[in-house]
Amino acid sequence: MDKVVVVNFGGQYAHLIARRIREARVYSEIVPYTEASPEKLRTLEPRALVLSGGPASVYEPGAPSVDPRILDMDVPILGICYGHQLVAKLLGGRVERGKGEYGRTLIEIVEEDPLFEGWNKREFVWMSHADYVAEVPNAKILAISENGYVAAYRVMDRPIYGVQFHPEVKHTPRGMLLLKNFLFRIAGLRPTWRVENLVDLLVEDIRRKVGPGEKVLVAVSGGVDSTVTAALVKRAVGDRLVAVFVNHGLLREGEVEEVLENLKKAGIEPIYIDASERFLKKIEGVADCEERRRIIGEEFARVFKEVVEKDPSIKWLAQGTTYPDVVESGAVVGADRIKSHHNVAALPRWLGLKVLEPLRSLYKDEVRKLGLALGIPEDVIYRHPFPGPGLAVRVIGRFTREKLEIVRKASRIVEEVLKKHGLYRKVWQAFAVVGDDKWVGVKGDKRSVGYIVTVRIVESEDAMTADWARLPHAVMDEIARRITTEIPQVTMVTYAITTKPPATIEPC
């Protein structure tokens, strides 16, 4: 079986690269740059290498790097973003800080090459970088960005490429074609990898880890990640699954009833714990969102500890951690912490449970495919992603119960309008955000100073990149009018139109 090794420099999209390669039916696996010696890589017998992006600058002291000898391994190499810059530096080129390119960027193909077979002369790609290759080594420039930066090059007489943009994200429309060109035209690989047996592999892995008589606690929220995790655990250990649904008071309107009904449809009967008041008291008045995340994560652990104390045979905690959670939390070697996820490396040791994370290497769309294979109802599979800390991360500034209720009601309105117009499943995520800022309004011919609500609706496939949804103006108008009419404390509704990057999807 042909294999591609992705060397990870801590980039948010490193695992996405590996996944795109698997989608092309070529097996791929990820190796952190700290373990990417030529000797180690040779034991893996790759037919090609891909060097990922990363948050560092290649010219800084201590920046992530690899042994230059890997460039002599006689296999095709593709450097992406940071990898593109690193290859140039290792071969004698020069990298400098530029003005940066973020999001949709136009490039021009200036030299024909098999890598760009099927591309137009000008194409939009997805950029996310500040540094750029100021001087290429002994290489031919293949593409230039609209800002004059080197967008792609090929090393002379060697199948070593660098691209400054991210072909692995869906917002580079012909990115998958570029990866296939690299895999099949340049590296000559065969599309023989299949993922149909992934469910069986994950179930067997859980069985192998969980000892006889040991129970597994699964925190279910009603979302696809935790539901799929619970379904996998149930298939692996049967009635030794202990599903727990904790209401932390930060759920959407009507969500408790909806979650319990959906879990029942999926064959999961959870223990329901209403801990809303204890959670809300803990975060009341807390302004820092990272602190709120920490408090909520710790309180979840305390609730789980109380469950475990009643049943000492519970030895494991299974979580619906996905790869975006891992990357954003900085749990990957070389990755920067963007925001903490309480289900990533944040469980206190006093909880005393071993952790299962069967979805840790997967993205949301892959989890959804698993869920469908497990027979989970589509109502669960296609629910919009919802953060573990709930609506707490959609309140900016000091947390108050008034702002919580505003966000809860406004988010319900957003979802209702989208469902009414058949748009809910066509977007990735849709919700409302409220902060401390206020806007002078006029209601009933009287001055009214109210909150500003920001509506955030995005399109995405994996949450690693996202673009704002271009909704019909009539739909946007209906959302705004309903929010200002039905929520007296609101006088202004805005619409967030910033992509990810540079913004994240959730506000904090």
The residues annotated as belonging to the active site are 81, 166, 168
Enter the tokens of residue 118.
């099927």
| Enclosing H/E stretch for 364 | helix 364-373
Question: Which residue type is seen at 481?
Answer: R
Do the beta carbons of residue 8 and residue 53 sit within 8 Å?
no
Residue partners of 109: CB distance under 8 A and separation at least 6: 116, 119, 120, 121, 122, 123, 142, 143
Q: DSSP secondary-structure letter at 272? A: E
Q: What are the two backbone dihedrals, phi and then psi, of residue 234, each rounded to the nearest 5 degrees? A: -60, -40
CA 78, chain centre distance (Å): 23
Q: What are the two backbone dihedrals, phi and then psi, of residue 212, each rounded to the nearest 5 degrees? A: -60, 130
Residue partners of 495: CB distance under 8 A and separation at least 6: 454, 455, 457, 468, 476
CA dihedral 275, 279, 281, 285 (to 10 degrees): -160
From residue 224, alpha-carbon distances to 229, 280, 430, 444, 508 in Å are 8, 25, 16, 44, 22
Q: How many other C-beta atoms lie within 10 A of the C-beta of residue 292?
A: 21
Q: How far is 390 from 431, CA to CA, in rounded Å?
A: 11
Q: What share of the chain is helix, strand, coil (3-state, %, to 5)?
A: 35, 25, 40
β-partners of residue 432 are 455
Helix (H/G/I), strand (E/B), else coil: 382: coil
| Enclosing H/E stretch for 204 | helix 198-209
Do the beta carbons of residue 317 and residue 219 sit within 8 Å?
yes
Q: What are the two backbone dihedrals, phi and then psi, of residue 325, each rounded to the nearest 5 degrees? A: -60, -45
